[in-house]
Structure 1
Amino acid sequence: LNSAIVAVSVTATTVFFGAMAGYGFSKFHFPGRNLMFGSILLTFMIPFPVIMIPLFVLVRNLGWVNTYWGLIVPGALTGFAVFMMRQFISAIPSELFDAARIDGAGEIRIFLTMVLPLARPALATLGILTFLESWNNLLWPLIVIQSDDMETMPLGLTNFSTLYSTNYAQMLAMSVIASLPVLAVFIIGRRQIINSLMLSGMKG
């Protein structure tokens, strides 16, 4: 249950805020836009172990250790999400949004009723990738979780292995169960992934 809550929450926030940031970077011109986007791309070069300790100190100071906030907020938005959505939304003709503005639509309405539906293949792909990463994440929950009732699925699997013995039967059985939600998400979103790949090929 903890893994489902965390994975769904992280996926929803990452997809929504990633699309919002991608729309802003792709269709709006403001001072420092390229510098800000370049700074986001630079985050790809920073491995997680480098920011792990400062991030934990920040979470601890906020009182989020051993809480859902500590698991969800650090992964609520990633540079990859902004980059992916910015690249996809950039390919959408700006004339569509200009026509909507002429008809009196505000930016929020354009984002909700035009950007999100048109970017559905990219949103589905980003959602699946984010869900898989969050569902399988072991290192960060291992650091921030300190009680059994807050353990995620990967942490629970480690309980079957001790210093002196490993219960392989139960571990493999739980591994199969843990893979079922991932398989279900892929089956549901596979059509959108294929559409995203086809659109990327045609645009390339």
Structure 2
Amino acid sequence: MNDIQLTQLKSEFNEIKQSVDESCLYEGFSLRFNQLLDFSDLDIPYLGRSSWLTQIMGWTGLDSGGRLHGDSPPTPKRLFQFAFFMTNHINLPFTEPTALSHWLLSGQDNRFEPISMVDSMTNLVDSYVGRYYKRYAPAPHKRFLEVPLNRQAAVKRIVVSFSVDQLSFTGVYKLSKKLVHQKIENTVNELLDGTPHNLINITI
């Protein structure tokens, strides 16, 4: 192979390297990554996860954001370390860091079916309800949401109210805070049945 051919091949490869979007290789990684955190016993709220990962895993904020939102997995060594750590915090009848690593990358292992979308959405919506409760809720809503069963009922009803397209990690993540807060307000009003001071436990 002569120098001209080598140069042409190098040029061809460089064009491919610059144009290929490698995130498609790991489509769904961030969804599974968040689902795993939701399913664990670590009780990590959705809001603030990047900071948590930075403190615990030693990742940069940019790296943590890529794991959570960008379908960008860590290096194989770091992924295995994370999977090994998470096997200590998930309630499944097996602890195989290698299998967990493969599932995070590909999603192809039905033993991880208990790590469900509904769990992730419930966790995310509960985080939004918590923010609403602390910063925006009027007094009657605050008193209502102080009761754990009431808060659980509100979260469940809000999750059910999302459309199929919205009921995905990226779908809910992209919703505006204003829209989510409006859903929360409407749901609490419905559960209160128009009588804000009648604070009774409601289950659905």
**Normalising by the residue count of structure 1, what TM-score does the alignment of the two structures yield?**
0.31
| Larger Rg belongs to | 2
**Normalising by the residue count of structure 2, what TM-score does the alignment of the two structures yield?**
0.31
Name the structure, 1 or 2, with higher relative contact order (CA <8 Å, separation 6+). 1
Q: Write 1 or 2 for the structure with the bigger share of helix.
A: 1
